Amino acid sequence: MDLAGTEVAPRQGRKSRKSAAARLGLVAVPVAFFAVFFAYPVAAIVARGLKVDGRWQLGRIADVVAQSDIRHVLWFTTWQACASTALTLLVALPGAYVFARFDFPGKQVLRAVVTVPFVLPTVVVGTAFLALVGRGGLLDELWGVRLDTTVWAILLAHVFFNYAVVVRTVGGLWSQLDPRQEEAARMLGASRLAAWRQVTLPALAPAVAAAALMVFLFTFTSFGVVQILGGPTFSTLEVEIYRQTSEIFDLSTAAVLTIVQFVAVGAVLALHAWTVRRRETALRLVDASVTARRPRGTGQWALLAGVLASIAVLLLLPLAVLVQRSLDVPDFGYYRALTSEDGGIFLVPPIEAIGNSLRYAVAATAIAVVIGGLAAAALTRRDAGRFVRGFDALLMLPLGVSAVTVGFGFLIALDEPPLDLRASWILVPLAQALVGVPFVVRTMLPVLRAVDVRLREAAAVLGASPWRVWREVDLPMVRRALLVAAGFAFAVSLGEFGATVFIARPDNPTLPVAVARLLGRAGELNYGQAMALSTILMIVCAAALLVLERLRTDRTGEF
């Protein structure tokens, strides 16, 4: 017995050390990436605002927060984010169910279309809704109703913008849940509602929470939508940071607001990590192609019709307005104008922004998938320590920190050797990948954690290396989630505006930056060109996402 124990102890020790080394190896690259390209730039811009003659002016924090107008901004920011998140979940969860469980003509095309609003620059989203609900808009012309400068216009625009987050994040997991578990509950006497509430809803809880978290962070830091639709009445922290930085040039107040935003987002992420982690369980996942079927009965057809109607009104109608505005001039005049050089705001023809955006988006997607995939793999390990679990929350911080702060931070912090990147093209994909990584992690994590750990343990017992376990056990189960994550990262990169606008070179503008610059200039031609570029951005995104849909669904039998 003693001899046996003497042999086992060293083996267990070696196994523990290898496991710890593997865990640290997985998390080392994401930690280094976020430390260099997120923490360092943000810290640099905050220090620039709060340091005077080398001394910290921490009392400035209390002075700024005590101002009544700042407290009002903080209250409205929090309130509208909560309301926007609740409304988005209410509208989009039925859509997630329809895309996950129903099979109907045009499903792949429609799934790609509903993601297009998410990649549009927020200034374009605000402009589209202004054309619908503002003075002279569609509602004003038909019924004399105006919703601009009201909170309802902001909430509806946020639903438009974030609908795809819920459909893809929740629907991705929902489509892989084994429906026989709910059917078994029905056979045991549970009603349809009770079976869904007691079986399906607990399994979906992590994905729903992840989607709600992403929607909350995007609406909490909302900028373009609130600035255009809210007018002088409503202002979020992000709008106020931009105003203090670009209009008043008060970096001290902007730095304080950045810290306030950072603390608030950190508290939300900590609450999310504490509540969701306790409810995660291993799930039975199946091939998504076998769970989708044609609607049956009046109720399911009515649900499908209701979801399609909501998509038409909330998503397709604003997109149609953009297309219509881009075609106001005969013979595609606005589109032809994009091919001419403009020495005023562009050093190259605006049409070149298309190629720039695609190149940047591909590079950013590759970075986000690698960094996010490593982070998600580290977070799913059973032996993950407190540091790794805490890193789960830190990964979401780029979604909750002002993009204005990140952009300025890049310019201030990354301008000296050995990280002098201000003249390098890689700076834009790095900034875009910061926003894409959280989507990769949040999309892959529920599926990775749902894989039965006994499968990994059995493969390890049979002598498989950690890499082979990942390749033969995890990867076949999460391939679909990985493609969804890549699609999200690509879409986010195409539409990222807040940080890119500060670091994109004048001779290499992206589509969102080109649109914003055109909207910022007076004149019908500039406005029409902005609508034309927005339409092109929509088409490029829809085409890319449609290709992804075909690649993702052409996997029958591989899961």
Tell me: the pLDDT tens digits for 404-451? Answer: 778 878 888 887 777 778 778 888 999 899 888 988 887 787 777 777
**In the chain, % of residues over pLDDT 70:** 81
Give the amino acid at 227.
Q
Please determine, for residue 21, whether its predicted confidence score (pLDDT) is greater than 60: no
Q: Give the mean pLDDT of the chain.
A: 77
The DSSP output letter for 56 is E
Please determine, for residue 530, whether its predicted confidence score (pLDDT) is greater than 70: yes
Q: How confident is the model at residue 12 (pLDDT cuts 50, 70, 90)?
A: very low
Tell me: the pLDDT tens digits for 220-270? Answer: 888 878 877 876 778 888 888 878 877 777 777 888 888 888 788 878 877
Average pLDDT over residues 497-524: 80
Q: For tokens 């989009």, name the residue.
A: 92
Please determine, for residue 479, whether its predicted confidence score (pLDDT) is greater than 80: no
Burial of 331 from C-beta contacts in 10 A (0-12 / 13-18 / 19+):
exposed
CA 503 to CA 411: how far, in whole Å? Answer: 7
pLDDT score for 76: 92
DSSP β-bridge partners for residue 102: 293
Q: How confident is the model at residue 284 (pLDDT cuts 50, 70, 90)?
A: low
Tell me: the pLDDT tens digits for 163-202? Answer: 988 988 888 777 777 677 776 777 777 777 777 777 777 7
Question: Is the bond preceding residue 418 a cis peptide, omega within 30 degrees?
Answer: yes
Q: How confident is the model at residue 285 (pLDDT cuts 50, 70, 90)?
A: low
Tell me: the pLDDT tens digits for 484-497? Answer: 788 878 878 887 87
* CA torsion, ordered 136, 140, 145, 149, to nearest 10 deg: -20
Please, what's the b/e burial string for 256-265 (b: 16 or more CB within 10 A of its CB; e: otherwise)?
bbbbbbbebb
